[in-house]
A and B are shown apart, each in its own frame.
Chain A
Amino acid sequence: TLTLRTQRHSTTLTKMAGADGDDSLYPIAVLIDELRNEDVQLRLNSIKKLSTIALALGVERTRTELLPFLTDTIYDEDEVLLALAEQLGNFTMLVGGPEYVHCLLPPLESLATVEETVVRDKAVESLRKISQEHSPVDLEVHFEPLVKRLASGDWFTSRTSACGLFSVCYPRVSSTVKAEIRQHFRTLCSDDTPMVRRAAASKLGEFAKVLELDYVKSDIISLFTALASDEQDSVRLLAVEACVSIATLLPQEDLETLVMPTLRQAAEDKSWRVRYMVADKFSELQKAVGPEITKNDLVPAFQNLLKDCEAEVRAAAANKVKEFCENLPEDNREQIIMTHILPCVKELVSDTNQHVKSALASVIMGLSTILGKDNTIEHLLPLFLAQLKDECPEVRLNIISNLDCVNEVIGIRQLSQSLLPAIVELAEDAKWRVRLAIIEYMPLLAGQLGVEFFDEKLNTLCMAWLIDHVYAIREAATCNLMKLVEKFGADWAQNTIVPKVLGMANDPNYLHRMTTLFCINALSDVCGRDITTKQMLPVVLKMSEDQVANVRFNVAKSLQKIGPVLEKITLQNQVKPVLDKLATDKDMDVKYFAHEALSGECLPYEYS
């Protein structure tokens, strides 16, 4: 590969030296030759510029030479094929406009049969796109036969691709062809290979949408019922998704007889993966079947899913608790929640599986807005408090991260008594990722709890993180300080945190001294010129004498960082001398960063 590239460069040079060939042809010639370069990056590059090549060749040669070549180029790497499949979707004008768009079908057809799913999917996407550019006649003469060929192909790769094409041609063809398309789809729904049945099941909903209502009732429902009771659970679970679209299409009075038996069966399927899918799609299903069926059927089904024997299913259902309750018909929403849903939720709070508990914790706070102040205080608050004390940190974190919903309803004071110990415990958790997570919620909490509560209870924590032994925590802690100052203002910063941060500049541990610098980097902007110049800068300048080189070069970096906040005169009189001195430091890195700062983007005018 290397030699090839060198060759190319040398030819480029000879050319520049003065040849009189057609100047515009040369780069195109390179692109065409690189379509088959050994280096995949160069091939990819050429494929991405396929439109340039086509433009140069003109529509005629693109149709008769380039496309036949590309049709057989299916041996290439996936990423090249993927790029090719994508390019061809935008090629209509380059082959001569809609009149010739069918010339793009052969290469896309061969791409639609490769084994790599992403490539096939992209080819199908492009085929769907160019199908719209076919005239109704061309659609029947060229496109529809292609769909048929794919649908009856020997290999399942081609048959799976066919599944995605029915819905785009169906609305635009004659009724005889329509009948054929329906027949093909039916055949694929009962294909021998589960791959094809899965593809058909996943396209069932979209195909139903373009079908006439009568055929939805006659054809689609029977296919749906068959797929939903397929022997492979990987097929059955996809039928659940189709259920949503089908239910949306049917008039309310038909749902009970045509859809509900299958949906009920899916909610009680022997396979947990199918039940999981039902739980996962529950909100969509709820909207699709409407309030009446929700009340009679979905509420008990949801209860069962919340009590499912498989934790994965319970977790998926727990995730939907808030959305489900929110979408219940308003007239008796509260009653349904209180009598049917809440008892299950209470049990989930003490579930044996921590994923279930943490899924619940991420949505449970949302119930308070739905149930109102009194119910929240009486029924939900004990659950929140229990979850705040959960042994699993993720559960506690999820509760804390959603405090805002409760705040709106009952105010955070009700919680603060329990909140504090929970926060403190997370703040000191042995796992640094847990500590990191709680730090990220600090600005939010500070906003909810107010400055007084914060100063009294949480400020110490925030400062303690600055000397955590994990760098990621110290870094997050500095960022946290910046966000707090944004919330509480520069005055607050000057009184509460700046003195503490600057105090660390004298710490015997150089890592803590560096934290002072990192904090200054983060805070100078939000604290403003006054505090930066009067309080922070002297400390930074003094630290340039530090015996540890890492501290010194961070001084240089800090000076560069805070430069824009400072006045010109300060830079000239105070900063520059220090940087000049650092620029002659015995340590290489210190010198480097001092020079960087001196020539830095924000400083050149001041220093030159």
Chain B
Amino acid sequence: MLRQRQTHGGQNDIKRGKNVSMETDIISTVEFNSSGELLATGDKGGRVVVFQREQESKSQPQRRGEYNVYSTFQSHEPEFDYLKSLEIEEKINKIKWLPQQNAAYFLLSTNDKTVKLWKISERDKRPEGYNLKDEDGRIRDPSTITSLRVPVLQPMDLMVEATARRVFSNAHTYHINSISVNSDLQTYISTDDLRVNLWNLEITDRSFNIVDIKPANMEELTEVITSAEFHPQHCHTFAYSSSKGSIRLCDMRQAALCDKHCKYFEEPEDPSTRSFFSEIISSISDVKFSHNGRYLMTRDYLTVKVWDLQMENKPLETYQVHDYLRGKLCSLYENDCIFDKFECVWNGSDSVIMTGSYNNFFRMFDRNTKRDVTLEASRENSKPRAILKPRKVCVGGKRRKDEISVDSLDFSKKILHTTWHPQENIIAVAATNNLYIFQDKVN
């Protein structure tokens, strides 16, 4: 049973009585770190906001587990590529946390072209005492300097700083759609429409192209890469999904270039449901390995599929996300919604999966009980700590109470990005410029 926990963002607009939010505030990615203590969001304005979970406090027990802003920084700025006359948006496409290596936290953020490694660190001491000036900053008369002072570190209010440690640029001709850190903690991949590049986290002037599907003649292009991810444990394995609905698994041990895959996952098309939109809706928008590394989950326009790595010819499980849209594909094509890229996530034990839909709805599927639920992320319908009510979309026939008809769904309110706490049942859902955090049970 999920309860509303917190909402971030957008509040100011409501207080000021206007309901328009800045385009740049739209959240474009959301990601928990490996301990779940931190949560990062990136937005269209190139900003990254990091939230930290409050530690237990006796005075305010109800605040335990609340996520509060820890650090906000501008990760990317708009740029212009003068050679190609192209504007490069500052929008953060993906954020990936690195496993913690010392007291500081590290994350990778990327826009269309450039990946950056950020360090977020705390500082609680400040040096004090100068030789050449006094406490108020006034310059001292040099003749009065008769002894040397070594600065002393004094405690100060905690300060959180974000510093760009590395900038990985100039390696992508097309738009970066995903980044993924290897379990060897030494390398990561960045993926654009046609290529996958392998980087060493410490080296910015060189990357290795490991997959290149660019045809010699661009007119023969039939397929693009939509997403790629490393296996959580096997450092040599990664998977990438394509716009044709297939997933390729590559083994980096076999060869330096991974143009040849070692496994190819694809479901044969059902001729009876074939339509003009078949190819578009089968395009995979996200691929994720399960935490245990046995399964792959993919999201296409209407379904989420779970694949067993040992079975290439069909998915193990298929879940309908919003099958009621099948009849509306034509209008969804006309308003471009059919090209929306929904992401999907596993819960910590790989037993439940979550993905987004329209009208600020998001869906959860329990793989064991086969039960599914539709929930809504909305400020109007839920107060803090309220239990989320399952929502239902009515399909034809009579509309029952509490049901919402397909025609009244708001397609401008879409939930594309969600993330699940790595151990606990806490989820974060990005709905345009709002971030909702829901928690299983609140003490």
Contacts and interface: CB of A to CB of B under 8 A. Distances in A.
B119 interface: yes
B150 interface: yes
Nearest to A120: B102
Interface string A494-517: 000000000000000000000000
A117 interface: yes
B409 interface: no
A275 to B, nearest CB: 10
A8 B131 CA distance: 12
A290 B254 CA distance: 31
A8 B233 CA distance: 56
B209 to A, nearest CB: 14
Given A19-B141, A61-B150, A155 B255 contact: no
Interface residues of B, number: 45
Interface stretch (A21-29, A100-108, A293-301): A21-29
A19 B127 CA distance: 28
A373 to B, nearest CB: 39
Given A273-B253, A309-B255, A115 B101 contact: yes
Given A115-B102, A272-B255, A309-B255, A33 B131 contact: yes
Contacts of B144: 21
A311 B165 CA distance: 34
B131 to A, nearest CB: 4
B148 A56 contact: yes
A233 B253 contact: yes
B172 to A, nearest CB: 23
A113 interface: yes
B235 A233 contact: yes
A10 B104 CA distance: 40
Interface residues on A, range: 35 or more
B100 A22 contact: no
A312 B256 contact: yes
A310 interface: yes
Contact of B186 (A14, A68, A195): A195
B264 interface: no
Contacts of A11: 132, 139, 142
Given A21-B145, A194-B183, A233-B253, A155 B150 contact: no
Contact of B130 (A14, A33, A73, A310): A33
B294 interface: no
B121 interface: yes
A35 interface: yes
Interface of A: 7-8, 10-11, 14-15, 19-22, 25-26, 28-30, 32-33, 35-36, 56-57, 61, 65-66, 68-69, 72-73, 75, 113-117, 155-158, 193-195, 198, 231-234, 269-273, 309-312
Interface in B221-266: 233-236, 252-256
A198 to B, nearest CB: 8
Interface in B127-183: 127, 130-133, 139, 141-153, 165, 183
Contacts of A155: 100-103
Given A56-B148, A72-B125, A75-B123, 19 more contacts: A14-B142, A19-B143, A22-B146, A26-B145, A29-B149, A30-B131, A36-B127, A61-B150, A66-B150, A115-B102, A155-B101, A156-B101, A194-B184, A231-B233, A234-B184, A271-B236, A272-B254, A309-B255, A310-B255
B132 A29 contact: yes
Given A66-B150, A72-B153, A194-B186, A114 B102 contact: yes
Contacts of A19: 141-143
Nearest to B141: A19
B77 interface: no
Given A21-B143, A72-B153, A232 B121 contact: no
B213 interface: no
B106 interface: yes
Contact of B121 (A21, A36, A75): A75
A588 B146 CA distance: 56
A305 to B, nearest CB: 15
Contact of B148 (A28, A157, A194, A312): A28
B69 interface: no
B185 interface: yes
A66 B150 CA distance: 6
A69 B132 contact: no
B423 to A, nearest CB: 17
Given A29-B148, A69-B151, A194-B185, A272 B256 contact: yes
Contacts of B410: none
Contacts of A65: 150, 152
Contact of B102 (A30, A157, A193): A157
Nearest to A196: B185
Interface in B326-377: none
A231 B145 CA distance: 63
A117 B148 CA distance: 34
B202 interface: yes
Nearest to A36: B127
A21 B142 contact: yes
Q: Which residue, A32, A56, A158, A231, has most C-beta atoms of chain B within 10 A?
A: A32
A269 B236 CA distance: 13
A30 B145 CA distance: 11
Contacts of A271: 236, 252-253
A7 B152 CA distance: 23
A122 B52 CA distance: 33
A72 B236 CA distance: 39
B143 A194 contact: no
Contacts of B102: 113-115, 155, 157-158
B142 A15 contact: yes
18 contacts: A19-B141, A20-B143, A21-B144, A29-B145, A29-B148, A32-B151, A33-B132, A69-B127, A69-B150, A69-B153, A115-B106, A116-B165, A117-B202, A155-B101, A156-B101, A157-B102, A233-B236, A271-B252
Contacts of A310: 254-256
Contacts of B252: 271
